[in-house]
């Protein structure tokens, strides 16, 4: 890019904007909040590219195989905070074969070498080993934040290394990981001089914890704002901990059960009364209803309540929630039932996000009275509601149409009707009309999961109207190739598409191959794909990685199979790193 401008420059003018030094651009870019904005700036010209990438501090790698760790380090040498995500979303439900990949080790090694100033590391759905954690503890002088979400492969020995080695640790956030218990008292390894902890979340840890050590740690970390306990902490010890950390903003109670004793109740009540800053509450696993009133004094201040693992039900539960008038986020089990949600609708008018989880997902029939009614009530009365995840057993088009009319502001709508192929229970029609209403009304919809009996026609609506949709999940739906074709040829903003058990075949995949390069990934399992089409797709689109996985019980390898062989699982993603080399036997890059 050459020097432009033919203006006669006055004597002491500022330099033309395009020759400003990099530091100025770096400073300007620091005000861009979103990575996508920075990416757009970097694409404008070479000097902006240089300035932007050299000053990037935060990096989010949404697919660990989209680029190699070395690519990331080379391109963004100044990164201080990195987040990497690994396995596809359906790994959460057991659809990804074990040992599929997503090892964190190469990323830790590359970071240790190229980003010695890294302060924050987050991994989601990756395999993190104790060696990784030891390397993190040893490699980064100023390491502050470790966040592991839905990861596996490590034990309390790795946590011990972090506790002992990370002198400036601020956050240790372990969410829903599978952690092996080696009976190492990792908590004791935080030195007595260590006081910097702000977040401590070990709710997913199975084993026992030394309560005295925990109490001492909590006492000396005066900046502790988030504390989420596991199920090894008895109720009376919880009360003690709260008295030592009254400044707490977010609390995970772990268990919340004991035989009812009025003394313990008063102790708990007093402890909560001292927590004037408490805003987010979770846990209450096997909560005993008689103890719920101990929370009453904090209800007014709560903005977030996660009871999604709490099996408590009945009037005490509902009374408790109804006192939380400032709730913005509510996650509950379906034990709350329709009448409970009606109370939520009238009490919690500031609600923005609602998630209702199934208490008995594998039961053949209804055990709780949670239907479309509950969702209709909440969406009618909560004007700020924009994100919903709802598991139920029945739905009607009319309900969905009403919901769509009431809440055009949905950004995330995930409905899971537990029994596949369930039609509208009053008309026995497919739920096409209902979901079409949702996408037509909610112009800002970014995430959608559909369920129930659905034909190709709903996908026509989604393809045509869901312009901002970024993630779509489909299961047991559609009746022909057309369904997939509507989606891939529409949905302008689609980034992630995950499909299971739908009669979608080769033709729409090949016809829309180019679309796949504009997306982050596509998952299709138990559809009607053949190996030949996958091979063809891979040949046509060299910048896609086309992974085929078959049922390990049916025997691998795939090399010997013919083009006509059915493909159980297809996972396609764009990548600049070429085919990965760490696939297990039953996964093949075609």
Partner 1 sequence: MLVETERSSTESSAASGLDFEDTALTLTLRLPGSAPAPPAVASLSSSSSSAFPDADRKCASSDADPDRSSLLAASSDAAPAPKARVVGWPPVRSYRKNALAGVAGSSKANQAAKFVKVAVDGAPYLRKVDLQAYAGYDQLLRALQDKFFSHFTIRKFADDERKLVDAVNGTEYVPTYEDKDGDWMLVGDVPWK
- Report the interface residues with partner 1, using CB under 8 A: 90, 92-95, 150, 176, 178, 204, 206-207, 231, 255, 257-259, 285-286, 288, 308-309, 311, 313-314, 357-368, 391, 416, 418-420, 473, 475-476, 500-501
Of 200 and 368, nearer to partner 1 (C-beta) is: 368
Strands 81-85 and 58-61: parallel
Cβ nearer to partner 1, comparing 16 with 98: 98
- For helices 481-489 and 456-465, the axis angle rounded to 10 degrees is 0
Residue identified by tokens 């997913």 is 204
Whether cis (ω within 30° of 0) applies to the bond prior to 39 is no
Q: What is the CA radius of gyration of the chain?
A: 26
**Between 73 and 472, whose beta carbon lies closer to partner 1?**
472
CB of residue 309 to partner 1, shortest distance in Å: 6
Taking the complex as a whole, the smallest distance from the CB of residue 257 to partner 1 amounts, in Å, to: 6
* Cβ closest to partner 1, residue 76 vs residue 285: 285
* Residue 342 β-bridge partners: none
Query: Which residue number, 359 or 545, has a Cβ lying nearer to partner 1?
Result: 359
- Residue closer to partner 1 by CB (options 214, 533) is 214
The rounded distance, in Å, linking the Cα atoms of 569 and 403 is 34
Least separation in angstroms between residue 92's CB and partner 1 is: 5
Residue carrying the six token digits 């404008």: 44
Q: What is the DSSP string of 69-125?
A: HHHHHHH-TT-SEEEEE-S-GGGGGT-SPTT---BSHHHHHHHHHH-TT--EEEEES
185, containing H or E segment = none
Closest CB to partner 1 among 23 and 363? Answer: 363
- Give the residue with the Cβ less far from partner 1, 191 or 420: 420
Shortest separation between residue 50's beta carbon and partner 1, angstroms: 43
- Rama region for 200: left / alpha / beta (φ>0; ψ in -120 to 50; rest): beta
DSSP 416-479: EESSTT---TTT---SHHHHHHHHHH-TT--EEE--SS--HHHHHHHHHH-TT--EEEEES--S
Q: Which is nearer to partner 1, 37 or 176 (CB)?
A: 176
How far, in Å, are 289, 293, 343, 589 from residue 315 at the CA level? 9, 11, 11, 55
| Minimum CB distance to partner 1 smaller for 53 or for 500 | 500
Q: Please state, in angstroms and rounded to a whole number, the distance separating the CA atoms of residues 16 and 474.
A: 53
Q: How far is the CB of 231 from partner 1 (least distance, A)?
A: 6
User: Based on CB atoms, which residue is closest to partner 1, 10 or 94?
Assistant: 94
Backbone angles phi, psi at 83, to 5 degrees: -125, 130
| Residue 386 and residue 352 in contact, taking contact as beta carbons nearer than 8 Å | yes
CA pair distance 586, 590, nearest whole angstrom: 12
The residue among 578, 572, 574, 68 whose CA lies nearest residue 587 is 572
């Amino acid at each position: 890019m050459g020097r432009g401008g033919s203006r006669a420059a006055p004597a002491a003018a500022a330099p033309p904007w395009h020759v400003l030094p990099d530091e100025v651009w770096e400073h300007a870019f620091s005000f861009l909040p979103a990575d996508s904005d920075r990416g757009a700036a970097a694409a404008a010209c070479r000097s902006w590219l240089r300035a932007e990438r050299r000053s990037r501090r935060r990096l989010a790698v949404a697919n660990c195989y989209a680029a190699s760790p070395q690519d990331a380090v080379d391109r963004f040498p100044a990164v201080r905070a990195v987040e990497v995500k690994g396995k596809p979303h359906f790994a959460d439900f057991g659809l990804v074969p074990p040992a599929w990949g997503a090892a964190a080790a190469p990323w830790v090694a590359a970071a240790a070498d190229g980003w010695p100033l890294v302060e924050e590391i987050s991994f989601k759905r990756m395999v993190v080993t104790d060696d990784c954690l030891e390397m993190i503890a040893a490699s980064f002088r100023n390491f502050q934040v470790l966040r592991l979400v839905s990861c596996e492969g490590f034990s309390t020995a790795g946590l011990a290394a972090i506790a002992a080695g990370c002198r400036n640790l601020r956050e240790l956030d372990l969410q829903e990981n599978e952690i092996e218990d080696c009976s190492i008292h990792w908590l004791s390894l935080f030195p007595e001089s260590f006081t910097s902890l702000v977040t401590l979340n070990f709710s997913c840890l199975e084993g026992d914890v030394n309560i005295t050590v925990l109490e001492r740690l909590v006492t000396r970390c005066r900046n502790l704002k988030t504390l989420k306990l596991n199920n090894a902490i008895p109720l009376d010890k919880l009360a003690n901990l709260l008295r030592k950390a009254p400044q707490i903003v977010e609390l995970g109670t772990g268990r919340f059960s004991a035989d009812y004793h009025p003394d313990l109740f008063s102790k708990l009540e007093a402890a909560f009364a001292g927590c004037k800053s408490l805003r987010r509450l979770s846990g209450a696993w096997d909560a005993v209803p008689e103890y719920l009133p101990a929370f009453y004094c904090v209800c007014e201040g709560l903005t977030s309540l996660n009871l999604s693992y709490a099996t408590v039900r009945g009037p005490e539960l509902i009374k408790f929630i109804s006192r939380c008038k400032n709730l913005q986020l509510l996650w509950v089990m379906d034990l709350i039932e329709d009448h409970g949600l009606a109370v939520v609708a009238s009490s919690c008018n500031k609600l923005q996000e609602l998630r209702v989880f199934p208490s008995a997902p594998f039961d053949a029939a209804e055990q709780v009275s949670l239907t479309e009614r509950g969702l209709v009530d909440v969406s009618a009365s909560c004007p700020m509601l924009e994100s919903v995840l709802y598991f139920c057993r029945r739905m009607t088009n009319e309900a969905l149409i009403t919901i769509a009319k009431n809440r055009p502001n949905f950004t995330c709508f995930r409905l899971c009707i537990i029994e596949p192929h369930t039609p509208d229970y009053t008309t026995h029609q497919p739920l096409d009309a209902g979901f079409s209403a949702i996408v037509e009304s909610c112009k800002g919809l970014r995430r959608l999961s559909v369920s129930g009996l659905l034909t190709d026609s709903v996908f026509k609506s989604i393809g045509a109207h869901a312009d901002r949709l970024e993630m779509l999940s489909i299961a047991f739906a559609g009746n022909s190739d057309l369904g997939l074709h509507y989606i891939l040829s529409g949905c302008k903003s689609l980034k992630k598409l995950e499909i299971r058990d739908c009669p979608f075949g080769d033709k729409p995949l090949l016809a829309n191959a180019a679309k796949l390069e504009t997306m982050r990934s596509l998952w299709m399992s138990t559809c009607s794909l053949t190996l030949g089409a996958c091979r063809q797709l891979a040949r046509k689109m060299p910048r896609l990685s086309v992974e085929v996985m078959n049922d390990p019980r049916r025997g691998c390898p795939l090399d010997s199979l013919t083009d006509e062989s059915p493909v159980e699982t297809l996972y396609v993603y764009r990548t600049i790193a070429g085919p990965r080399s760490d696939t297990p036997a039953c996964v093949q890059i075609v």
